[in-house]
């Protein structure tokens, strides 16, 4: 019996995409032959081919004048039994490879966003066209994975999809108390109260109202903004908002993915502030919510559907009206005041919200797909 071949496709270089890395490594550990076809960015000096933790990585340059052929061709060359499309940009190439390849492979659509309800600045022309046929492509697929239970609810209703569906939350690997203790020990060692937000900062990610909340906080409270800022216009807005506060605002830039939980563990409060700019944002289940609970750091969070419900149910922080800097400050102060309680509850919740538990959903889904795929390819 041959090993089932899986080919994942994603529209980035793979190196910093923790969700995709965790999924790929989980399937490799489960015994599948897995290749990730990612993007080549020559200026980054990444290898065209490499193997990391049992996952084969192939990076491609999109140079063909024929739309999508630069992606479909290498996918066909992998001759997979199952193609796993990460987000809407990858779904059409995976469907094409599955239908035109010799194996008549299966396709898994793994959507990290609610693309039909996303913010306008995330929807370029090609993506707008794909969204129009998302339902048709989904019904041609063999399974659906979503990153939020509310996304699944909307997608299933919107597209009348009847196939297998599972929500896999974007949760971190478990960290022990012993691993995090050195970072907890850093809290308050210089008399400052650090409010840390880790994100890709752009419109809708709450950086500007968080900075403005400093007007309502004591002078020893500082805001740390950790992560890339891909939109120059938004970076300008952030820096303009930060100007009156001097060194009370620290714009840090990107850090390695594996450093996210330790960085949050050294913070006094974690700010998880998503603005309700779109349906996708309103229904999100952001990874930094789970990272903050794993870090044992009290949370000040947007009062939106999944975020607000989880913060309340787990009693791990305070929720706020994200468009109101004064209310953000209130939530920060409340989270800091009840830090011991919220931190302990976050660590308790992390016993459930961790990748060691969540990965089982992915492996179980593939167990239902792989036998049929292997049988069809023999």
Among 1.10.10.10, 3.90.120.10, 3.40.50.2000, 3.40.50.2300, what is the CATH number of 177-350? 3.40.50.2000
Query: What was the pLDDT predicted at 117?
Result: 85
The CATH class, in words, for 5-171+355-377 is alpha beta
Burial category of 159 from C-beta neighbours within 10 Å (exposed 0-12, middle 13-18, buried 19 and up): middle
Mind listing the pLDDT tens digit for each residue in 319-341? 999 999 999 999 999 999 999 99
**Residue ranges of domains in the chain:** 5-171+355-377, 177-350
Mind listing the pLDDT tens digit for each residue in 129-179? 889 999 999 999 999 999 999 999 999 999 999 999 999 999 999 999 999
Integer Cα distance of 109 and 146 in angstroms: 8
* Whether the predicted pLDDT of 193 surpasses 80: yes
Integer Cα distance of 125 and 142 in angstroms: 27
Integer Cα distance of 47 and 63 in angstroms: 18
Mind listing the pLDDT tens digit for each residue in 254-305? 999 999 999 999 999 999 999 999 999 999 999 999 999 999 999 999 999 9
What mean pLDDT, rounded, does the chain reach?
A: 93
> Given pLDDT bands bounded at 50, 70 and 90, which one contains residue 127?
confident
**Would the CATH topology of 5-171+355-377 be identical to that of 177-350?**
yes
| pTM check: above 0.85 | yes
């Amino acid at each position: 019996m041959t090993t089932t071949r899986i080919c994942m496709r994603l529209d980035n270089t793979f190196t910093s995409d923790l969700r995709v890395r965790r999924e790929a490594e989980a399937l490799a550990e489960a015994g599948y032959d897995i290749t990730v076809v990612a993007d080549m960015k020559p200026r980054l000096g990444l290898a065209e081919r490499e193997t990391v933790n049992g996952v084969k990585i192939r990076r491609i340059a999109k140079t063909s004048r024929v739309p999508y052929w630069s992606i479909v061709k290498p996918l066909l060359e992998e001759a997979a039994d199952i193609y796993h499309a990460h987000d809407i940009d990858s779904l059409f190439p995976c469907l094409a490879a599955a239908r035109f390849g010799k194996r008549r492979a299966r396709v898994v659509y793994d959507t990290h966003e609610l693309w039909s309800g996303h913010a306008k600045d995330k929807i370029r022309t090609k993506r707008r066209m794909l969204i129009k046929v998302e339902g048709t492509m989904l019904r041609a697929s063999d399974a659906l994975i979503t990153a939020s239970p509310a996304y699944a609810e909307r997608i299933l209703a919107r597209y009348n999809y009847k196939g297998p569906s599972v929500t896999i939350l974007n949760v971190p690997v478990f960290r022990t108390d012993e691993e995090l203790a050195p970072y907890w020990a850093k809290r308050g060692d210089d008399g400052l109260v650090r409010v840390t937000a880790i994100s890709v900062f752009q419109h809708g990610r709450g950086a500007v109202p968080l900075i403005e909340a400093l007007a309502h906080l004591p002078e020893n409270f500082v805001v740390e903004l950790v992560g890339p800022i891909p939109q120059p216009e938004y970076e300008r807005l952030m820096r303009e908002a930060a100007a009156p506060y001097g060194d009370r605002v620290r714009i840090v830039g990107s850090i390695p993915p594996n450093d996210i939980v330790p960085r949050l563990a050294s913070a006094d409060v974690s700010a998880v502030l998503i603005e309700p700019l779109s349906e996708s944002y309103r229904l999100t289940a952001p990874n930094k919510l789970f990272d903050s609970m794993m870090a044992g750091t009290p949370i000040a969070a947007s009062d939106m559907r999944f975020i607000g419900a989880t913060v309340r149910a787990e009693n791990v922080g305070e929720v706020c009206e994200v468009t109101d800097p004064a209310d953000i400050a209130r939530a920060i102060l409340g989270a800091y005041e009840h830090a011991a309680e919220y931190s302990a509850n976050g660590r308790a919740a992390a016993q459930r919200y961790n990748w060691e538990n969540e990965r089982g959903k992915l492996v179980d889904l593939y167990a239902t797909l792989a036998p049929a795929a292997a049988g069809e390819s023999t």
